Amino acid sequence: MEILFLNALANGILLGGVLALLAFGLNLIFGVVKVIHLAYGQCVMLGMYVIYTLKAIYGVPLILASTVAVLVMGVWGTLLHLLVIRPLLGAERLNQLLALAGLIIVFENLAHVIWGADLRGLRVDLPVVSLGNIFLKTSNLLAFAGALVVLGILYVVLHRTYVGLAIRAVAQDRECASLMGINPGRIYLLTLTIGGALTGLIAAFFSPIYSVHPHFGGSFTLMAFIIVVLGGMGNLAGGFIGAFIIGVVTSLAAVITSTEVAEIVALAIFILVVLVRPQGLLGARRAR
Amino acid sequence: MGSMLEVDNIDVFYGEFQALFHLSLEVKAGETVIVVGPNGAGKTTLLRSISGLQPPSKGSIKFLEQPIHRLPAHRIVELGLAHVPEGGRVFPNLSVMENLKIGSYVKEARREFQKTLEEIYELFPRLAERKSQLADTLSGGERQMLAIARSLMSKPKLIMLDEPSSGLAPMIVTMLFEFVARIRSQGYAILMVEQNVRKALALSDRAYLVESGKIALEGSREEFSQESYIRKAYLGL
């Protein structure tokens, strides 16, 4: 039993790394553009199909297929901004939410039409690593390490470069940022492009682990959303911590009970946070 | 000296509500001009329309001979016109240093960032002491100083200040006006909206009185301070 727990804990932490990257994308988009990208997990799903198509059907090497997926999903994010989000920037919050929720249906059915309902998986045989009694899949380890490296790079970009500072400035005070010479429209476009490219990257990390199907994205959108709320909406550090909490909790709950119950536990945490601490663990300080 | 900023006959609306009526104003190179008037007269709107945040629906605004009333705010800064909005509006979750760095976002200013930063730290030693603190943790006066310093980082030719002394303790206000005087002596042109008419007038070259969205009075500092209406209503004499 103890070994089971330790394994669940270790795998929960590994999952937390990738979830942190997913939550980061959702958080960044919310923090900067102030819209909740409800179809974020669905973009990961599309990215996985891109990789699947290239690798399984055209025999493109996985690394190259993943690179293409990052680029394609980046462009996808750009288009999403230009065609859906930008025209709705001045609209009511509710209309923005409905439009983005509508995209869930569009993306899922698009996948249905193109790839069908079957599970599509890559046959990637990677060895299992053992640390004493803990067994970890190399694919999970790679995804974890990759996600942390990317998060590190994003952190440095956000804190050390002009463009990163501009993104943070726009998130805090859009109008005042424009008085600094920053074009907020361009920062929005850039944010959605980065957010899109991240879904491609997450797809690359997920592809060797999971098989994809048209409804694959739903639970990940939900997870990311729970994490973002748990950490405090728009608070990137909060999201990082939240991802590991959710990763470990769901992983442990799945071992004790079942995967279905794990999702219930995650949602129960979500409801509890909204009731007790709606500003989240680290409560995003309000930019005026 | 030639005209640096020329506001010519502008009308500004917020939806249906008209805030400014055929308003004209001018700032010459090196001049310090103040705008006074009651609350809600349209002083803040005037600065917002010049910096591109609330463009006029009629009339024209020229900066260094170039029409700017159709340009978005981020393009106007690049020309050398800085706007310090009411309350300073520093970025609360950026450090003092990051706030200053983002102030030098425009291309020409970026190249000289290090040099300007040293000059700013010399001018505002307090900011150097707090450079790694979040702007959120600063006092009201320090925030206002940071906001002014941030605007200087963009290497502007004209600085617009919107009520820099508002909400500050009297001692801090005195210090703040000393800073404005120091900036002025470095040759920057300043357009300042102020409630503290006496202090602002003391360091101005010319002044405008705005009432109900129109220029009610204008003149040099001497003319302005001798006007009986100003003496009674704004200087309490």
> For the segment A176-190, what is each residue's pLDDT rounded down to a tens digit?
999 999 999 999 999
Work out the average pLDDT over A21-43: 95
Inter-chain Cβ pairs, chain A and chain B, closer than 8 A: 74
The residue assigned the tokens 């400014």 is B20
Using an 8 Å CB-CB cutoff, list residues of chain A that contact chain B.
159, 162, 165-166, 168-169, 172-173, 175-184, 285, 287-288
Q: How far apart (Å, rounded) are the C-alpha atoms in residues B220 and B201?
A: 10
The DSSP result for A127-178, as a single string, is PEEEETTEEEEHHHHHHHHHHHHHHHHHHHHHHHSHHHHHHHHHHH-HHHHH
Domain count, chain A: 1
Q: Which residues of A touch B51 (CB under 8 A)?
A: 179
Q: Is residue A281 part of a domain?
A: no
User: Would A184 be classed as within a structural domain?
Assistant: yes
Mean pLDDT score of chain B, rounded to an integer?
A: 93
Report CB contact under 8 Å: B110, A172.
no
Q: Which residues of B touch A (CB under 8 A)?
A: 51-53, 72-74, 77-78, 82-83, 85, 89, 91-94, 98, 101-103, 105-106, 110, 136, 150, 154
At A263 the pLDDT is 85
pLDDT of residue A71: 98
pLDDT of A288 higher than 50: no
Q: What percent of chain A has pLDDT over 70?
A: 98
Read off the pLDDT band of B226 (50, 70, 90).
Answer: confident
The per-residue pLDDT for range B38-88, each reduced to its tens digit, is 988 999 999 999 999 999 999 999 999 999 999 999 999 999 999 999 988
H helix intervals, chain A: 2-33, 40-52, 62-80, 93-115, 138-160, 162-172, 174-179, 184-206, 216-231, 236-256, 259-276
pLDDT in tens, A151-170: 999 999 999 999 999 999 99
Q: Which residues of A touch B73 (CB under 8 A)?
A: 175, 178-179
Q: What is the pLDDT of residue B103?
A: 96
Note whether residue A30 is domain-resident.
yes
Contact B94 A172 (CB under 8 A): yes
A284 occurs within a structural domain: no
Provide the pLDDT for residue A125. 76
* Domain assignment of residue A181, yes or no: yes
Q: A83 in helix, strand or coil? A: helix
Please answer whether residues B85 and B154 qualify as being in contact, where contact means their C-beta atoms are separated by less than 8 angstroms. no
pLDDT at residue A208 is higher than 70:
yes
Record the pTM.
Answer: 0.91
- Look at residue A286 and tell me if it is in a domain: no
Q: Which residues span the domain enclosing A110? A: 2-276
- Whether residue A287 is contained in a domain is answered as no
CATH of the domain at A151: 1.10.3470
Q: Is residue A116 part of a domain?
A: yes
